[in-house]
Amino acid sequence: MKKLGKRHLGEALVRVLMLLSVLIVLLVVVSILGIILLRGIKSLTPEMIPWPALLGSLYIVIPASVIGACISVPVMFYITMYKKRSDTFPYLARLAYDVLYGTPGIVYGAFAFTLMVYVGMRASVMGGILVTVLLIIPIMIRSGDEIARNVPDEMIEAAYSLGATPWETLKVILRQILPGMTTAFLLAIGRAIGEAAAVMFTAGFSDTMAVRLSDPAATLPMAVFNWITMPDPFPDKAYAAAFVLTVLVLLLSLCGRWVSRRFTQNNL
């Protein structure tokens, strides 16, 4: 009986600890969102919308996502279709992009900057796109790989055994992983759009709208970074930019969730 009481105590303790952790996490999320939303909404009058930064971010992230997807999708297909029982090559590939995945944005920034200096390129939209492509590829591949790994061998075999070519088989697999892949890519875009360190010296910063690929461009995270420590009214502008950025990222991640819910219903 005594022993049982002790076990109950342990149980209760662990439960309280878990609850506490959840509360801490919730508190952090709510306060971040709360402050950004409250201060952001207050500051976000039509003339305070940081158009150059918003458009600059989109100029950089949209092409970078497209290029990134063009490179990551074939890699994922390769891993799915040509995975061998022996694990050496996939192991090395996974190790490589795990390292890249964990590499901080600032390191990407420094690397891309070195490249740009080497070819004589200035901080520009082009530079921003370049570094964002580098940054987004491992994120896309890593999350895509998780999805591709869940494709059952039986499905590949089923298509093959009906006499399908590898390409036809791939199209079948694609139907299976498309929703998951879309979600993964939307989340990757969400992460890339919020990356400040990488674009700090590659895209630069500017108060005017970037028109050409060689113009330096403002981005939302850089706008926050630059304005938050400046005298009034700049902090308000920074909060407005943070608000726009948060809403963008939230939208992307909600979209991702919606896609995966809506379409996996049909698949699973």
Partner 1 sequence: MNEMQAPLSVRDLSVAIGGNPILRQVNLTFPRNRITCIIGPSGCGKSTLLKTLNRMHYNVEGLQVSGSVLLGTHDVIRANDQELLELRRNIGLVPQKPCPLPMSIFDNVAYGCRIHGMYRKKELPDVVEKYLTEVGLWDEVKDRLGSPAVRLSLGQQQRLCLARTLAVEPEYILADESTSALDPLSSKTVEDLFIKLKKDYSIIMVTHTLHQARRIADYAVFLYLGEVIEEGPAADLFNTPREELTRNYLTGTFS
- What residues make contact with partner 1 under the rule CB under 8 A? 82-86, 152-165, 168, 172, 175-176, 266-268
Smallest gap from Cβ 153 to partner 1, in A, equals 7
Smallest gap from Cβ 99 to partner 1, in A, equals 24
- Read off the DSSP letter of residue 47: G
User: What's the burial of 136, exposed, middle or buried (CB within 10 Å: 0-12/13-18/19+)?
Assistant: buried
**Helices 51-81 and 125-149 sit at what angle, rounded to 10 degrees?**
40
Q: Which is nearer to partner 1, 14 or 162 (CB)?
A: 162
Q: Which is nearer to partner 1, 106 or 164 (CB)?
A: 164
Q: Is residue 168 within 8 Å of residue 195, measured between CB atoms? A: no
206: part of which helix (H) or strand (E)?
none
Can you list the alpha helix ranges (DSSP code H) found in 44-121? 51-81, 88-102, 105-119
- Read off the DSSP letter of residue 150: T
Q: Which is nearer to partner 1, 83 or 94 (CB)?
A: 83
Smallest gap from Cβ 77 to partner 1, in A, equals 14
Smallest gap from Cβ 145 to partner 1, in A, equals 16
Smallest gap from Cβ 159 to partner 1, in A, equals 7
Smallest gap from Cβ 175 to partner 1, in A, equals 4
Please report, for residues 83, 103, 114, the alpha-carbon distance to residue 96 in angstroms, rounded to integers and kept in the order given: 16, 11, 21
Q: Which is nearer to partner 1, 51 or 82 (CB)?
A: 82
Q: Which is nearer to partner 1, 119 or 268 (CB)?
A: 268
| Residue 217 zone, left/alpha/beta (φ > 0; ψ -120 to 50; rest) | beta
Q: Is residue 90 within 8 Å of residue 182, measured between CB atoms? A: no
Q: Which is nearer to partner 1, 64 or 156 (CB)?
A: 156
9: part of which helix (H) or strand (E)?
helix 2-43
Q: Is residue 207 within 8 Å of residue 218, measured between CB atoms? A: yes
| CA 244, 250, 253, 256 torsion-angle sign | negative
Smallest gap from Cβ 165 to partner 1, in A, equals 6
Q: Which is nearer to partner 1, 145 or 215 (CB)?
A: 145
Tokens describing residue 1? 């009986």
